[in-house]
Amino acid sequence: MLAYTSFWERVAEDLKNEDSGKKHPYEWKKSEIESFITDRFLVRIDNYLKANQKYTGQSSQFSYYTFRRIFQNKEKYSARLYTKNLFAWYFGYADADDYLKEERASNQLQFAVINEFLQQAMRAEFNAYKSVPECKTSVKQLENYFISEGPASKRILGVLENQTARGWVLTNPNNPSAYEIIDVKIKETFKDKAIIETQEHWVLQWYCSRQNDYRYRYSNTNRQSYILKKTDGRWKIWSNSYPAPEKYLPPLEIDPELKEQIHVQSGLACRNFLLELIEGGRTNVAFYLFKVKLRDKKHLNTIIILKSQFDKLIDRANNEKISMEEFYLKKGEIDLKMLDLLESL
């Protein structure tokens, strides 16, 4: 659990909150630092030590240059325990360890709350996938954990919409789909925002009820990064990011704006755009453009056959029947056939 890693970060925050101008110590001028040390810091420390029978008869020592090394030079300053204890005494604590006890207890409680929240959120996400094609109730449940206008929510809703349209489900008999959150770490917390890192394992095996066969198998363990925001006093997920698995090819979708762009293309501009798509490896978009623009039935049938071959190629790669090297080699062959077709038009 990573909740509050720096003793000096907490000291700086407490000094800022105590400052009349609410300025961070790295913003303090030399005169302000010297005044703080002489008029407040050392005086309050000696008073604390005397009140708690810890005073040795010698005044505490602390310099302007030590203050700068800690708060302003931004160097990794390995202060002695004595220096840390000075700040603990200044804030009225027995020692540096006592100063952090309350913070540690608060962090443990915060971790427990966030960990439980993530467990519930992932359960809601998985249940939403299992609810396809009847998603209305599960989508409503997602609103308890995801910010509706955030990218994480939109990604999940996009998956639900696409799989419903395809007729893919996770609820066929003996479907092994499952998930597990292996580890949770709090990377950083603010007043209304938190950055969380998890390690997760997801198995999603989408079964096509129309073809009575698995169409997309995903099984992967990865690290994910979440941004949580507080809305109405409750944590909710704004976004999450994770590396795309090299081993799997996700179902290829075409952005609605790109579809609109394709529909308005014509003439030489359309031909050049199609050439750009094929040469850029955007095979699925090229298929869509051919389908929209071709009028000749013979050529259209050729595209339908090539598209079928391409879909089967993706399915074979995802089911590990061919390697990714073989996939890209055969995909290149399909791209060349499309280029040949374009040249013949």
pLDDT in tens, 239-248: 998 876 655 5
> Which CATH number covers residue 133?
3.10.450.50
Q: Return the minimum-mean-pLDDT range out of 2-6, 35-39, 262-266.
A: 2-6
Cα–Cα dist 88/99, whole Å = 6
129 and 212 assigned to the same domain: yes
DSSP-assigned beta bridge partners for residue 219: 203
185 and 288 assigned to the same domain: no
- Total structural domains in the chain? 3
Confidence of residue 228 (pLDDT cuts 50, 70, 90): very high
Cα–Cα dist 18/22, whole Å = 7
What average pLDDT score do residues 284-308 get? 85
Spell 59-69 as b/e; 16+ CB within 10 A means b. ebebeeebbbb
SS3 content of the chain, % helix, strand, coil (to 5): 55, 15, 30
For the chain, the average pLDDT equals 84
79 and 199 assigned to the same domain: no
Cα–Cα dist 95/97, whole Å = 6
- Confirm whether 183 is domain-assigned: yes
Cα–Cα dist 221/206, whole Å = 18
Confidence of residue 252 (pLDDT cuts 50, 70, 90): low
Residue among 203, 209, 127 nearest 168 (CA) = 209
212 and 313 assigned to the same domain: no
Residue among 223, 240, 222 nearest 145 (CA) = 240
Cα–Cα dist 241/329, whole Å = 30
* Residue 119 pLDDT: 95
Residue that finishes a domain, picked among 192, 215, 241: 241
- Confirm whether 283 is domain-assigned: yes
Percent of the chain with pLDDT over 90: 35
- The token duo for 309 is 């071959």
Q: Helix, strand or coil for residue 200?
A: strand
* Residue 145 pLDDT: 97
What average pLDDT score do residues 74-91 get? 80
Alpha-carbon separation of residue 223 from 116, 198, 244 (angstroms) = 18, 6, 11
> Which residues constitute the domain of residue 325?
256-344
- Confirm whether 2 is domain-assigned: no
63 and 145 assigned to the same domain: no
What is the pTM (predicted TM-score) of this model? Answer: 0.53
Cα–Cα dist 220/217, whole Å = 10
- Confirm whether 249 is domain-assigned: no
Confidence of residue 4 (pLDDT cuts 50, 70, 90): very low
Confidence of residue 294 (pLDDT cuts 50, 70, 90): confident
Residue 145: exposure state from Cβ atoms within 10 A (0-12, 13-18, ≥19): buried
- Confirm whether 329 is domain-assigned: yes
What average pLDDT score do residues 306-321 get? 82
- Confirm whether 247 is domain-assigned: no
What average pLDDT score do residues 225-251 get? 80
110 and 233 assigned to the same domain: yes
Residue scoring higher pLDDT (77 or 176): 176
111 and 211 assigned to the same domain: yes
The DSSP H or E segment spanning 105 is helix 96-131
201 and 219 assigned to the same domain: yes
* Residue 110 pLDDT: 79
Residue scoring higher pLDDT (190 or 250): 190
pLDDT at 127 over 90: yes
DSSP-assigned beta bridge partners for residue 225: 197, 241
Residue among 125, 180, 207 nearest 158 (CA) = 125
pLDDT at 251 over 60: no
111 and 192 assigned to the same domain: yes
pLDDT at 77 over 60: no
126 and 234 assigned to the same domain: yes
Distance of CA 251 to the CA centre of its chain: 21
225 and 260 assigned to the same domain: no
Residue that finishes a domain, picked among 180, 214, 241: 241
Kindly report the number of other CB atoms within 10 A of residue 139's CB atom. 17
- Confirm whether 248 is domain-assigned: no
| Whether the Cβ atoms of residue 167 and residue 208 lie closer than 8 Å to each other | yes
213 and 339 assigned to the same domain: no
CA angle 30, 31, 37 (to 5 degrees): 90
Residue that finishes a domain, picked among 94, 123, 147: 94
